[in-house]
Structure 1
């Protein structure tokens, strides 16, 4: 007999059995409260045509979907090893949590990393380490080129772009208050400057994307009047023009009407309860020289604040065109944020996340090489934005030429993200990536903002310790010879050999 026939036969038999027994023992009728719903579920399963499993295996077919729903949790908590978890493995998750809570972050009994596995990386140290007392405990970089009137003295590690809307108001508040307490900057993401970005009083990097949220006309084009109004806010220290992001380069987005509340609409300068499209391209410019003049326009409208661009490297020829445009127009950004193809986001097509854009280290090394070739690197600071969880992650990017680092996922974990991978469902269980008020209530801003500051302080402390161990005193002394990469069972090569300095 087929499973559905077994179900029908069993259901009929049980009902007949209960009916007969009820003549002698009435309490058995209470069992129908459990049995009738199961029979109704089975009948519904047989009649529906959407799910073959349920149709072929009434009632018991639901267990397949139940187990599939628990699979990510089972994988994370019971199956994966300390090194296997993705996107962030357990070792780094634990490190972030420990540093955010100011707990012991040391490890016993030696490394769990296979140091003879191809891809292993390490930093060379010196026989003559520097005294840590001689090093700056809070290294910073000055961002602002020759045309910048208001340069920004930035921490070497800041919070990467995450919009209000993608993050909850409590998450944004906790990040911003943490940035204020720790003396570092918070990138708004392309969703505009929300009240929660301002309430904490932290330094802001205002990101202007293709939707021009916070500085747009009714038609969705750039509006210089609203831009100037927002750019002049004292919390805004730098402005970043987003050309593309690593998780979905060349891909636009849509804010569905259901999520476009009156609050979000006001922040983004759009009509509430309407679909809002964020195109994959800018309408304020269409070529390299146009971008340079747009940078100049924003610099003038902001009274000389640092203006930068963010991109994930795709076509190398197009970045070379940007460099040539900088030389031809004598206009250049004050900073360039390089994102990697492995970048994170709340939601992106799988093909874009997995298969578009250069990985961070390749893209970063190319950008630095190109800027040096065109003699532009002196005035332009390069910021690397990617999977940065430890001081070594920072150092290896600086070895490739980064002046500063942006991190998003580590900062999310500092305020409680557990990598539930529910960012795109509005069901984040810890209230970080959701607009569900009942879920975001669990994120205590007054508790979590201190953890953001703690994490930043502790990773910078480890960074300074590593500098000291390498015999260095400043972050700009790190270069490609300091990082070794295993390419074979008995061969380690430096980044100097691995990443060509030619363009």
Structure 2
């Protein structure tokens, strides 16, 4: 309906130009008059829209303005610092690095440094020498026989289906060129993922790529998929920040025959993954599943991803790790601010722990139970800039992932049409006429450039702090304004010492 209104107005506008410029004025005026009269009759007789029944023809102006409202707001109303979820300054940061354009900003900060919760980092008057290359982080505990060296910044989980095949191709080619990993998302592994870039195979509650006919986990299919040489790590998706406690959502409009075949489902239906796993239902079951996957994958790093909800449930997982000796090689921490292609609004707005508190909580628990030395913490949620990476590492993360940052590097303009199959930049649509705009051979280089330049910015911040090793990063480097006072994160969230909780509990 809305598209019809939009095209009707475009047609009337063209006819209006014909009339008022004197080009074929007689028949142009006649056609326009007939079109307006027909539209008016339709409006008066239709029963679905009150505005149109009461205000035929001119009532369409409301719907036209509503259609272009987001564009009007983005380009003419919002400032450089207040766009949501990613403001214009941060989008510009990504575009400039992806296109190898300028890296400087004129005339000083546009941020209000006196605002509540404003954050900043300490620097040293004795900066260190800038490292020649970013450090790599080894992921793999004592029982892992195929450890993986991960970049500090990688592509976070985005499924084929949620994003287009062209987007997947460009992301994977960029990951290969830049030597960083590409998380597949829960939609399985397609041929577009297998372009030579390192993969983290994400297994969600729908078990796409390792699924039985009735939707349960298939050990045989998992073993086959996990054996792909591109698959370097496996991630069990327990929950996602944008919709924790709710399964993944792929609208029917985006579920075509190709995507359905890869996922092992029926095409052209809404795909809503179960909210929880059928392979386990408690902490011990989760750890046994980790152990099973490690064995089936011949010792590749196994981890799980979650958004924190009930704190006691994560504490129980830590307790069971100590009790059973079974540990994942990594844990990915997502925050409630995480992105998604489609989610119920209440889950997006009101469910799950925000990223900063979640990351600190997970790191503290792992430290307290003596687990952090064997488990790497990955994190993803609005990781955009070098400062975002620096802050995350200071709070205790080892590796950062970015989804929306990589999407914007591909050309995403934050049109907020991800769930409609009408993405104008071809990133989140499988519509061929829109997808053709995303030229893979151009966009993969932008992904690589964004990754490279952002880590280069990080190394400059790293040196400015006087650091030469990631082990030196600490919560004391990051400060937050609260009221009229400034506190370091170490003051707000004192670091928990190794095995502090185990010692305390054993002393009872």
Q: Same fold (TM over 0.5)?
A: yes
Q: Secondary structure at the match of 1:115?
A: coil
5+ residue gaps in structure 1?
A: 1-26
Equivalent in 305, 311, 317 of residue 316 of structure 1: 311
Contact between 1:311 and 1:339, CA under 8 Å: does it hold in 2?
A: yes
Equivalent in 269, 273, 296 of residue 264 of structure 2: 269
Query: Alpha-carbon deviation of 1:350?
Result: 1.1
Equivalent in 194, 207, 215 of residue 202 of structure 2: 207
Look up the match of 1:480.
Answer: 475
Query: Alpha-carbon deviation of 1:445?
Result: 0.5
1:138 aligned onto 2:128 = no
Structure 1 residues 376, 258: closer, same or farther in 2, change over 3 A? same
Give me the whole-angstrom Cα distance separating, in 1, the residues matched to 2:252 and 2:94. Answer: 36
1:493 aligned onto 2:491 = no
Residue by residue, what CA displacement relative to the aligned partner does 1:437-475 show, whole Å, maximum 9, x if unpaired? 111111111111011111101111111111101100122
Look up the match of 1:87.
Answer: 85
In terms of Rg, which structure is larger?
Answer: 1
Equivalent in 372, 375, 382 of residue 380 of structure 1: 375
Query: Alpha-carbon deviation of 1:236?
Result: 0.1
Equivalent in 180, 184, 189 of residue 188 of structure 1: 184
CA RMSD of aligned residues (A): 1.5
1:406 aligned onto 2:401 = yes
- How does 1:103-118 map onto structure 2 within 5 Å? 103-118=101-116
Look up the match of 1:18.
Answer: none
1:447 aligned onto 2:453 = no
Query: Alpha-carbon deviation of 1:266?
Result: 2.4
1:288 aligned onto 2:288 = no
Give me the whole-angstrom Cα distance separating, in 1, the residues matched to 2:79 and 2:305. Answer: 35
Residue by residue, what CA displacement relative to the aligned partner does 1:200-248 show, whole Å, maximum 9, x if unpaired? 2100000000000000100000001110000000000000000000000
Structure 1 residues 257, 384: closer, same or farther in 2, change over 3 A? closer
Look up the match of 1:172.
Answer: 168
Query: Alpha-carbon deviation of 1:118?
Result: 1.3
1:148 aligned onto 2:157 = no
Structure 1 residues 119, 217: closer, same or farther in 2, change over 3 A? same
Contact between 1:176 and 1:186, CA under 8 Å: does it hold in 2?
A: yes
Give me the whole-angstrom Cα distance separating, in 2, the residues matched to 1:28 and 1:233. Answer: 68
Give me the whole-angstrom Cα distance separating, in 2, the residues matched to 1:82 and 1:258. Answer: 33
Equivalent in 110, 119, 122 of residue 121 of structure 1: 119
Q: Secondary structure at the match of 2:41?
A: helix
Look up the match of 2:29.
Answer: 31
Structure 1 residues 72, 254: closer, same or farther in 2, change over 3 A? closer
Look up the match of 1:15.
Answer: none
Q: Number of paired residues?
A: 473
Look up the match of 1:44.
Answer: 42
Give me the whole-angstrom Cα distance separating, in 2, the residues matched to 1:252 and 1:278. Answer: 4
Query: Alpha-carbon deviation of 1:284?
Result: 0.4
Contact between 2:253 and 2:420, CA under 8 Å: does it hold in 1?
A: no
Look up the match of 1:11.
Answer: none
Give me the whole-angstrom Cα distance separating, in 2, the residues matched to 1:78 and 1:233. Answer: 48
Contact between 2:250 and 2:342, CA under 8 Å: does it hold in 1?
A: no
Contact between 2:254 and 2:429, CA under 8 Å: does it hold in 1?
A: no
Give me the whole-angstrom Cα distance separating, in 2, the residues matched to 1:373 and 1:112. Answer: 40
Contact between 1:210 and 1:283, CA under 8 Å: does it hold in 2?
A: yes
Contact between 1:403 and 1:476, CA under 8 Å: does it hold in 2?
A: no
Query: Alpha-carbon deviation of 1:255?
Result: 4.3
Deviating more after overlay: 351-360 vs 48-57: 48-57
Residue by residue, what CA displacement relative to the aligned partner does 1:15-34 show, whole Å, maximum 9, x if unpaired? xxxxxxxxxxxx96763321
Structure 1 residues 256, 360: closer, same or farther in 2, change over 3 A? closer
Query: Alpha-carbon deviation of 1:388?
Result: 1.1
Give me the whole-angstrom Cα distance separating, in 2, the residues matched to 1:48 and 1:434. Answer: 32
Give me the whole-angstrom Cα distance separating, in 1, the residues matched to 2:42 and 2:439. Answer: 43
Give me the whole-angstrom Cα distance separating, in 2, the residues matched to 1:29 and 1:137. Answer: 69
Give me the whole-angstrom Cα distance separating, in 1, the residues matched to 2:203 and 2:272. Answer: 15
Equivalent in 218, 221, 230 of residue 223 of structure 1: 218
Give me the whole-angstrom Cα distance separating, in 1, the residues matched to 2:26 and 2:143. Answer: 86
Give me the whole-angstrom Cα distance separating, in 1, the residues matched to 2:121 and 2:54. Answer: 58
Query: Alpha-carbon deviation of 1:256?
Result: 5.4
Contact between 1:45 and 1:54, CA under 8 Å: does it hold in 2?
A: yes
Query: Alpha-carbon deviation of 1:73?
Result: 0.8
Q: Secondary structure at the match of 1:50?
A: coil
Query: Alpha-carbon deviation of 1:53?
Result: 1.2
Query: Alpha-carbon deviation of 1:488?
Result: 2.2
Give me the whole-angstrom Cα distance separating, in 1, the residues matched to 2:272 and 2:416. Answer: 25
5+ residue gaps in structure 2?
A: 1-24, 502-508
Query: Alpha-carbon deviation of 1:72?
Result: 0.8
TM-score by length of 1: 0.92
Look up the match of 2:15.
Answer: none
Query: Alpha-carbon deviation of 1:275?
Result: 5.4
Contact between 1:309 and 1:333, CA under 8 Å: does it hold in 2?
A: yes
